[in-house]
Amino acid sequence: MFSKNRQKPQNRIDTLIGAETVVEGDVDFGGGLRVDGAINGNVNEAGSKPGTLVLSEHGRIEGSINVSHAVINGIVVGPLRASEYVELQAKSRVTGDVCYKTLEMHVGAVVEGKLIYLSEQTSRPENED
């Protein structure tokens, strides 16, 4: 409502998956999610507000990711879709396609897949309710 910069990811982390934690199954989250451990399943933001996924250099996600904002520094095995912003930091390794509206890619980041730009028409998924 008061923010003029819609591209800026959320700073607050509401949920943390710790370094020694392994989640088997899909994760739906709201707000901010930081993953230091592993998720073997899909990761999706829930609700109408933009969500932010932060994957640390020790984190690993095996499954598809569908969020508004993503900051990746770990391993992703599967497709990554960020409807607003994705940052691939130096230690990130993505095996799968990366769909983005705004992309920041640091030196050292690896993508084994396609980089696909989302235009205004394709960046917002339609509700299937």
Residue 4 lies in a domain: no
**Which residue range forms the structural domain that includes residue 47?**
24-120
Residue 115 lies in a domain: yes
CA angle 11, 30, 61 (to 5 degrees): 85
Residue 9 lies in a domain: no
pLDDT: which is higher, 76 or 123: 76
Who's near 69: CB < 8 A, 6+ residues apart?
9, 10, 50, 51, 52, 53, 82, 84, 85, 86
Residue 14 lies in a domain: no
Tokens of 88: 């691939």
Tens of pLDDT along 102-124? Answer: 999 999 999 999 999 998 765 45
Strand-pair partners of 36: none
Which pLDDT score, from 0 to 100, does residue 37 have?
Answer: 97
Q: Which helix (H) or strand (E) holds 120?
A: helix 120-123
Residue 8 lies in a domain: no
Q: How many domains does the chain have?
A: 1
Q: How far is CA 122 from the centre of its chain?
A: 17
Residue 127 lies in a domain: no
Residue 10 lies in a domain: no
Predicted model pTM? 0.84
Residue of 59, 54, 53, 57 lying closest to 36 (CA atoms) = 59
Residue 3 lies in a domain: no
